[in-house]
Structure 1
Amino acid sequence: MSETKNLKIPIYAVLFTVIFKLLFLFTHYIQEDAFISWRVAQNLLDYGVIGFNGNTKISASTTHLYVFVSYIFNLIFGKENFIEPLLIFNSILFTIGSFFLSHVLLKSNWQKAIFIFLIGILPPSIKISILGMEYGILFFLEMALLYYGFHKGKKWVQIILPVFILFTRIDTVIFLGTVFLIDLFWNKKINWPYILGGILGIAAVLGFNWIYFGEVINNTIVAKKIAYDNHFTLVQNIEYFTQNFANFWGMLKLPGDFNPVTIIILTFELLCFVYLIRQKNKRNYFLWIIFIFGWIKQVIFISQKSLFDWYYWVPQILLFVPVLIFILEQKAKKKLWLSLLIIFYIFPMFIFQTVHAIATGNGEWNYRRHIGLFLNTYEKDKNQWIFLEPAGYIPYFSGLKTIDEVGLVDKEVQREIQKDKANFWMNTVKKRKPKYLLSYEDLYQRKDAEYFRLHYRLVKEFRIKDHLKSDYKLIEKIYILKPSGSDYNLYERID
């Protein structure tokens, strides 16, 4: 069959990949921070304010565009039913993004189809699709920019899409900046429409922040910087980097500091990239963009001690792209190469992610959501406050007003951290007197236990060990093998 008769095969690959990944919806593996964005969207629905607690404005979500998209899905499907349609939407957008990427890198439609499916079932691709974060939209927009803006040469796309990309996440300036630099070196001229798009995007997101929230940078970025700020020496920074890079460059996080699997894959990625760019091919322009961006994004975020997995999902995928291209384009023993890749890497990684999704989905959806639902029933007055960390599942399902320990959804915590970081938690409790405290520790065993004995009573102990059962023995074994979640103690103020 000729290539002209295979034009629809990549489209079929998109549909098959999306349907295949829908199985992961049954794991209920949804990222904690997704519920922050969704509560902000529902706050906009209920109060007409982008916030987290009633009519108080705060950029509690890192992503403005995804908040608006989530708002629309809540409006259409209702608060009780919007999650699954939104996750399917995210998965579709991500897979279409991989479709665009395949078109700028490969010629054969069969190669594109295989590429779309294998990229789609990598662990970070599954997480982008089903964890409820904004990266499905982001990957779609970034790959659409490469395909329509730079592969097809659509100038209007180069102007418009940077605005949407920056409105999704402000740190995408790294991606847009990398594209600009590679384009400048490659074509030896300044791309003025793209510069205009970048200026409009930066002006739009910063202007929106300033006009609506009275701040230039999103509150979430400021809060994390304040809460996680550590002053390290050069030697400490180097040690920190060597301890963490292996678990973030690759797709497999393992306990401990040394991850040989990631180091092997990283080496293979580099070798494949060097092999491909030695060939004189127009696609090298895009290979340079995605590979340099992957490295720059990883280095910047690890150097800033950002250890949240989602910052690394897109770079992990893009850094692995040269490996797939190298194997798909082997003329001799291609089936052997592809079989070895699937048997020894793709399939094990897929199984690992499946086990991880089932275990973590239990710890998040079945356990942490259970705490939120308990509070929702226990406390009918939704104007009462709870002080806890993190601010995702439990505030969302409890409906209570929330103070979080990082200050993502409450700016007063940030001020307390700046005044007295060592004692900010206790100072916040005494000053704000929240009705509920949800703590990882036994407050009656602290050095200031007397205060809690006088003012708070223990309501309930939540233990992850109580949520490691299932009617299905295999799933129960997975729960026990990889228990996900933390023990909590719930306290209620008595005066």
Structure 2
Amino acid sequence: MAETKSSRFPIYAVIATVAFKLLFLLTHYIQEDAFITWRVAQNLLDYGVIGFNGDAKISASTTHFYVFVSYLFNLVFGKENFIEPLLIFNSILFTIGTLLLSHLVLKNPWHKAIFIFLIGILPPAIKISILGMEYGILFFLEMALLYYGFHKGKKWMLTLLPVLIMFTRIDTVIFLGIVFLVDLFWNRKIRWNYIFGGILGVLSTVAFNWFYFGELVNNTITAKKLLYSENFTIQQHIGYFFKSFGNFWGMLKVPGNFNPMTVVILIFELLCFIYLIRQREKRNYFLWMIFIFGWVKQIIFISQKSLFDWYYWVPQLLLFVPVLIFVLEQKEKRNLWLSLLVIFYIFPMFVFQTVHCIATGNGEWNYRRTIGTFLNQYEKDKNQWILLEPAGYVPYFSGLKTIDEVGLVDKQIQEEIKKDKVNYWINTVKTRKPKYLLSYQNLYEGNSENSLYYQTHYRLLKEFRVKDHLKSDNKILEKIYNLKPSGTDYNLYIRVD
């Protein structure tokens, strides 16, 4: 009876972890790109087209599968009420994913329960759960593949899950490839069901892109590569790496060129991994998979100058797994090890992320969202266009047709970038004549031909300033807002002719 009860501890831990993290929904910290996916889902609902602006087809979201999931939640709960249920759904799926992972690497139910909770409150886990991105679903699918496909030997899972994983994000080919290679070297045989699933996943994703959008890869990849591509010297590559690596292998985005905490954790992760794989346990099979994937994914994306931190959430967590296993399985002074880990790392990380969520949630929801709601009330004609960056909050809450600077949601601007990358913004304004411009800069400054054009054809409608949203009746919240102001000052212009 006691054994049966203890075997339920991991399930209780899942419930407790999800319930605990639901408090973060109060921060309203939702990633900008989530609103791009949700607008695509609502565009599908309204026009029957996967797009962003009416009936024009465009893969504005990086994830097809999550678009369809978001579409279903909009359909069931309505446009006004789907966000919270979807965030809860994401959090539940992610936490179930950590449960499956605990089954792969731990035996003791108590250890599993502690593992689930501690990994669930690390910064990347909180962000995966509440920021509205597709990584909650993705993490669940990847861990389900390892557990049901490779641990339980369910052949149909080896075929189905790679398709769903690839359809969620095309870059998951890295994860699927690493898993295949480790399995091949470990078992010295080929799982043909998995090969078939991988091929089917690639073909279905590419075929969907080609036959629906007329492109092989998502437009988001094409647009970012077009705008952000630069030629770096070897010295610049090295300098860029040392300036950026601390943001990715650690769990903190610390400004500056050197982050000693990241180096310490990185070394500790490596030492714990080496210690564990020397024990010749069956779980080493999965430890090799997740640890090699964590390294490879980060190295590839850092080498491609991918700054967006969500690319690194899953690798950050998987690389930290050996640390938690090492501490939980200490036979002597386990409580001391665990206490030190919680007090000096996990709890400070949790506090940092809490402050970050509150401050950034204020900057996004209470500030940037108000730009969209202002435009929604001011402009009743939703066929009018706005040129801006980024394409999340403001387009979603304004309902206006949108041209974004990067070209994620509008392909025409990509043609202007190809023709004249330096002047593509002003050229787009002149040729497309959008009714609204939302800019970080004062477009009237200077005596150039461009500033004269803006002064002639556009009027400053409203200024939006971060400093105006740093007040709260709650003094603690106000201190947090001022400690870490989040957002960017904007100027909103309206066309006068």
Are residues 1:454 and 2:461 paired?
no
Residues 145-185 of structure 1: CA distance to partner in whole angstroms, max 9, x if unpaired?
00000011111100000000000000000000000000011
In structure 2, the partner of 1:350 is 350
Deviates more, 1:258-267 or 1:138-147: 258-267
Secondary structure, aligned partner of 1:407: coil
CA distance in 2, matches of 1:328, 1:183: 26
In structure 2, the partner of 1:148 is 148
CA distance in 2, matches of 1:389, 1:247: 23
Paired residues of 1:3 and 1:109 also in contact (CA < 8 A): no
Equivalent positions of 1:94-243 (< 5 A) are 94-243=94-243
CA distance in 2, matches of 1:302, 1:467: 34
Residues 370-416 of structure 1: CA distance to partner in whole angstroms, max 9, x if unpaired?
00000000100000000000000000000000000000000111111
CA distance in 1, matches of 2:280, 2:405: 53
Cα shift at 1:422: 0.7
In structure 2, the partner of 1:329 is 329
CA distance in 2, matches of 1:131, 1:160: 27
Deviates more, 1:418-427 or 1:70-79: 418-427
Question: RMSD across aligned C-alpha pairs, in angstroms?
Answer: 0.7
Cα shift at 1:4: 3.9
CA distance in 1, matches of 2:23, 2:410: 36
In structure 1, the partner of 2:436 is 436
CA distance in 2, matches of 1:267, 1:395: 43
Match of 2:470 among 468, 471, 474: 468
CA distance in 2, matches of 1:174, 1:89: 26
Are residues 1:270 and 2:270 paired?
yes
Residues 65-104 of structure 1: CA distance to partner in whole angstroms, max 9, x if unpaired?
0000000000000000000000000000000000000000
The runs of at least 4 aligned residues of structure 1 exceeding 4 Å deviation read none
Secondary structure, aligned partner of 1:381: coil
Paired residues of 2:389 and 2:405 also in contact (CA < 8 A): yes
In structure 2, the partner of 1:369 is 369
Cα shift at 1:257: 1.4
- Stretches of structure 1 that go unaligned for 5 or more consecutive residues are none
The residue type equivalent to 1:123 in the other structure is: P
Secondary structure, aligned partner of 2:55: coil
CA distance in 1, matches of 2:233, 2:90: 41
Are residues 1:305 and 2:310 paired?
no
TM-score, normalised via structure 2 length: 0.99
Deviates more, 1:411-420 or 1:273-282: 411-420
TM-score, normalised via structure 1 length: 0.99
Aligned residues: 495
CA distance in 2, matches of 1:370, 1:246: 33
CA distance in 2, matches of 1:117, 1:392: 31
CA distance in 2, matches of 1:23, 1:221: 34
Cα shift at 1:3: 3.8
CA distance in 2, matches of 1:481, 1:345: 21
CA distance in 2, matches of 1:157, 1:394: 40
CA distance in 2, matches of 1:4, 1:363: 47
Secondary structure, aligned partner of 2:377: helix
Secondary structure, aligned partner of 1:489: strand
- Stretches of structure 2 that go unaligned for 5 or more consecutive residues are none
Paired residues of 1:3 and 1:108 also in contact (CA < 8 A): no
Paired residues of 1:436 and 1:492 also in contact (CA < 8 A): yes
CA distance in 1, matches of 2:452, 2:243: 40
Paired residues of 2:246 and 2:254 also in contact (CA < 8 A): no
Residues 443-492 of structure 1: CA distance to partner in whole angstroms, max 9, x if unpaired?
00043211011100000000000000111000000000000000000000
In structure 1, the partner of 2:47 is 47
Cα shift at 1:2: 5.0
Residues 353-383 of structure 1: CA distance to partner in whole angstroms, max 9, x if unpaired?
0000000000000000000000000100000
Secondary structure, aligned partner of 2:132: coil
Equivalent positions of 1:2-21 (< 5 A) are 2-21=2-21
The residue type equivalent to 2:135 in the other structure is: Y
Deviates more, 1:441-450 or 1:358-367: 441-450
CA distance in 2, matches of 1:266, 1:390: 33
Cα shift at 1:5: 3.3
In structure 2, the partner of 1:56 is 56
Deviates more, 1:437-446 or 1:391-400: 437-446
Q: How high is the sequence identity, in percent, across the aligned residues?
A: 77
Deviates more, 1:441-450 or 1:304-313: 441-450
CA distance in 2, matches of 1:282, 1:235: 43
CA distance in 2, matches of 1:268, 1:230: 35
The residue type equivalent to 2:454 in the other structure is: F
Deviates more, 1:316-325 or 1:186-195: 186-195
Residues 250-276 of structure 1: CA distance to partner in whole angstroms, max 9, x if unpaired?
101111111111111001000000000
